[in-house]
Amino acid sequence: MLRDPRMRRLLPGFAASSLGDGMSAVAVSWLAIEIAPPDRHGMWVALAVAAYTLPGALGTFLLASVLRGRSGAQLVTWDSTLRAVALGAIAIVALSGALSIGVYVALLAVSSLLHSWGSAGTYTLMAELLPERDHVPANALLTTLSQGGVLIGPLLAAAVIAGTGASTVIALDAVSFAVLALFCGFGMPWAARADLRASGSGFRVMLADRKLVALLALTFCFFALYGPVEVGLPVYVSDYLHAPASHLAWYFTAFGGGAVIGGLIAGYLRAWPLWPTASGIVIGVGAAFLPLGLGAPVAVSVAGLAVAGIVYAPYGSITIVLFQRSADRAQVLAARRTVMILAGPVGVGTGGLLVTGLGPRPAMLVTAVGTMTLGILAAAATAVTFRQR
């Protein structure tokens, strides 16, 4: 991948946005905690996290007539530009002292409106630039950059939060998306290839392929089950451990560090069978979350998240290849992203209810046990299918 001149032109932009995303992993929830009423932290953290993703699902449908058939470079540029503007607005309003929790959630929602198309554009761009044999390594490289941001970003965010507050981190995230928009907008051709133009609905294409439907269902449940951790961990650190943002950052950093290792490994797994590998990953991630849900000492829980990152990282690189190989890849990838966006709010909403009703640690235990169960069921279904063949 590094020998390809077009990839080298793109990498600085993707690296910058990955670092911004890593910082926002801490800042989005922590800023909600800073400005929300103390007795409503769980609810507002859930709403903020959902607002940072959910409107992208609406954008898939509402903007399909405008964005369908666009090149990957166009989709990434427009999504990054909107993110930069909306997140920058949050930082400006916060600087003026007028940022309320409602305004904050609304601007987060605006920032995510194009994100399903932007994500689809990223993988469409890889498929446009590279031959099919290089799709898994290219996906793995993007995963490694993303998780590298999760490795470095949370610690950097914690340092900035300690000095100037979470809104400054949001401003830096806005700058990172502006950098990606510049690199993609000026460094890549915008013309969509004729064979990549839309010829049908992405959902219709997916529903006609049972493999895609089954893989989408597994991925949806896998991502949704992470919701209780996404909501529970910040509340657990803030309200139960009474620790600063740097404490939360170490959890994310451990996961990101493991995921960097897993992302590097993923590029060499192109020959592994899809379904057994995906099922094993889901089981392994659930087992790695157990120390967090069982209230193990901090060092053990942090180590568990590092293992979870190693095991989890290859999942997207391996499974998204099926979607990239569709003739209507931009539409199919956007439709997939929509379903994944819906998985986030479903998980976050469920996580908010569980955290409020059970407390953060039992809610995270639900994630661990539920994820392991999902992986075991997927492995059993795969074994039955292979036996029938």
pLDDT tens digit at each of 389 positions of the chain: 677 777 777 888 888 888 888 888 788 888 888 888 877 777 788 788 778 877 776 776 677 677 766 777 888 889 999 999 999 999 999 988 889 898 999 999 999 888 777 877 787 777 777 776 777 677 777 777 877 787 788 888 888 988 888 899 999 999 999 998 888 877 565 544 433 333 345 667 677 777 778 888 898 999 889 888 888 888 888 877 788 877 888 888 888 888 888 877 876 776 777 788 889 999 999 999 999 889 888 889 999 999 999 998 888 777 777 666 654 555 676 667 667 767 776 787 788 788 888 888 899 999 999 999 999 998 888 777 655 55
Q: Which of 223, 227, 229, 187 is nearest to 320 (CA)?
A: 223
Paired tokens of 309: 């990152």
Side chain identity at residue 42, one-letter code: G
Paired tokens of 295: 């209230």
Q: Which of 6, 17, 148 is nearest to 81 (CA)?
A: 17
Side chain identity at residue 294, one-letter code: L
Given CA atoms 102, 103, 108, 113 in this order, what sign does their dihedral have? positive
Give dist(CA 155, CA 351) in Å, integer: 25
Is residue 72 exposed (0-12), middle (13-18) or buried (19+ Cβ within 10 Å)? buried
Tell me if 343 sits within 8 A of 220, measured CB to CB.
Answer: yes
Give dist(CA 112, CA 304) in Å, integer: 30
Question: Pseudo-torsion of CA 222, 228, 231, 233, nearest 10°?
Answer: -100
| Terminal CA-CA length for the chain | 37
Tell me if 200 sits within 8 A of 331, measured CB to CB.
Answer: yes
Return the DSSP state at 200: S
